[in-house]
């Protein structure tokens, strides 16, 4: 059975070019980049070249790039650095729709005596910038707001937000895991202090990430030990994965036009086709300002998990807006923050495409999805719930 993979916001396939660039660093170029000999030095040179490719994609300087293990590590490092470098400040501002990497960290810090303000969103997942302005205080150590939401694709006005935060003299961090490689980003124009990205969201392997640290920003490392990453992240460099990420960033730059033309055209075909064929379905999120690859559609009176199980029988991969918690189905924290009605929130499905998605795959989903929803609605316990 062929796989129709529409879950690219969860993870992406490793691009063939990325894999090929990594192989020599498992076989022939296996030296330690920190070694004094030439054999290790050539690895260090390749790491530097990868750093330059990442910086080019972000509009940053190579020395502002710190390689990490993932987006979660990058997020935690940024926030903890801000707190530890400003011990007199005990307040953090973030949003109710952040990735769990930030939500869980915020909850942990609250138990440690910090105060966290979670900004709300409207029915389209948009922030109220006046609420942000009012939330910032003299003791605010950092504001952390994601670049684009992983569930709905809603994109926040990060450049404007960064300017607002910097006017108040506060550090600003953005989790850009879902945005990098899909949207043009130029950090030379936006006063962002910290930015996190994850390789496996842009066709690099799992286990490699980046923390951008703006030059001049006071920074305290999360991992201490050796001198790697200019003392900002200890641990032997993961050379194969760093090189692979560099290649992925180079490919992302070359395919940016496609990501913002052909990919959203396929997304719109899928979305419009499903809405036309299936009654009582709505799109979650801001359709005018969202990631080019993401469509989150809510189908009334069905459960998302049931939809995914039936899609899986056809080899179709997507994800649900619900999570099973303590034996009861709870809509995601993002959809709850948006106020999506209960009977819609439970039936929310996220389709996330990539440049490898084909029109034939979209046609296949359009053929299989309507009868699945009809079948589930016939047996749904929510049919009478309004």
CATH number at residue 119: 3.40.640.10
207 and 71 in a common domain: yes
Distance CA 124, CA 289 (A): 10
250 and 291 in a common domain: no
334-384: pLDDT as tens digits: 999 999 998 899 999 999 999 999 999 999 999 999 999 999 999 877 654
The residue assigned the tokens 């719930």 is: 385
Q: Kindly state whether residue 6 falls inside one of the protein's structural domains.
A: no
HSE value, Cβ hemisphere, 13 Å, CA-based, for 13: 13
CATH of the domain at 327: 3.90.1150.10
Residue 161 belongs to what domain range? 16-254
206 and 313 in a common domain: no
How many domains in the chain? Answer: 2
Burial (CB count within 10 angstroms: exposed 0-12, middle 13-18, buried 19+), residue 48? middle
Q: Does residue 324 carry a catalytic annotation?
A: yes
234 and 100 in a common domain: yes
245-273: pLDDT as tens digits: 999 999 999 999 999 999 999 999 999 99
Asked if 93 and 117 count as a contact pair (C-beta separation under 8 A), the reply is: yes
Catalytic residue chosen out of the listed positions 70, 249, 317, 324: 324
Q: Kindly state whether residue 117 falls inside one of the protein's structural domains.
A: yes
Smallest CA-to-CA distance from 349 within 361, 362, 332, 324 is with 332
Structure tokens at 194: 């910290």
Distance CA 249, CA 199 (A): 9
Last residue of a domain, one of 191, 219, 254: 254
What is the DSSP track for 300-333? TTS-HHHHHHHHHTTTEE-EESEEEETTEEEE-H
Last residue of a domain, one of 254, 271, 289: 254
Determine the longest span between alpha carbons in the chain, in angstroms: 73
304 and 168 in a common domain: no
210-252: pLDDT as tens digits: 999 999 999 999 988 888 888 899 899 999 999 999 999 999 9
276 and 243 in a common domain: no
Last residue of a domain, one of 221, 254, 287: 254
């Amino acid at each position: 059975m062929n796989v129709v993979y529409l879950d690219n916001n969860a993870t992406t396939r490793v691009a063939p070019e990325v894999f090929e660039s990594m192989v020599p660093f498992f076989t022939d170029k296996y030296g330690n980049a920190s070694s004094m000999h030439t054999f290790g030095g050539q690895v260090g040179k390749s790491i530097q070249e990868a750093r330059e490719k990442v910086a080019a994609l972000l509009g940053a300087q190579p020395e502002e790039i710190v390689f990490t293990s993932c987006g979660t590590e990058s997020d935690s490092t940024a926030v903890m650095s801000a707190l530890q470098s400003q011990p007199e400040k005990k307040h953090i501002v973030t949003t109710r729709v952040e990735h769990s990497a930030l939500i869980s960290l915020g909850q942990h810090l609250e138990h440690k005596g910090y105060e966290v303000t979670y900004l709300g969103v409207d029915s389209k997942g948009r922030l109220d910038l006046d609420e942000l302005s009012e939330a910032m205080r003299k003791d605010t150590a950092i504001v952390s707001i994601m670049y684009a939401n992983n569930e709905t694709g809603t994109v926040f006005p990060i450049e404007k937000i960064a300017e607002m935060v910097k006017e108040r003299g506060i550090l600003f961090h953005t989790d850009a895991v879902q945005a990098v490689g899909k949207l043009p980003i130029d950090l030379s124009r936006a006063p962002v202090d910290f930015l996190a990205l994850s390789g496996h969201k842009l066709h690099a392997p799992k286990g490699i990430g980046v923390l951008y640290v703006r030059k001049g920003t006071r920074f305290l490392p999360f991992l201490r030990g050796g001198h790697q990453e200019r003392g900002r992240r200890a641990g032997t460099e993961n050379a194969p994965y760093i090189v692979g990420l560099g290649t992925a960033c180079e490919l992302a730059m070359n395919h940016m036009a496609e990501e913002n033309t052909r990919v959203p055209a396929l997304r719109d075909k899928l979305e419009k086709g499903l809405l036309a064929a299936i009654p009582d379905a709505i799109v979650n999120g801001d359709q005018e300002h969202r990631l080019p690859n993401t469509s989150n559609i809510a189908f009334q009176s069905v459960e998302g998990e049931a939809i995914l199980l039936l899609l899986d029988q056809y080899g179709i991969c997507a994800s649900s807006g619900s999570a099973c918690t303590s034996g009861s189905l709870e809509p995601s924290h993002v959809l709850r923050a948006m106020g999506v009605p209960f009977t819609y929130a439970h039936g929310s499905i996220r389709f996330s495409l990539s440049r490898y998605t084909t029109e034939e795959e979209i046609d296949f989903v359009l053929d299989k999805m309507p009868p699945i929803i009809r079948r589930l609605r016939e047996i749904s316990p929510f049919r009478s719930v309004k």
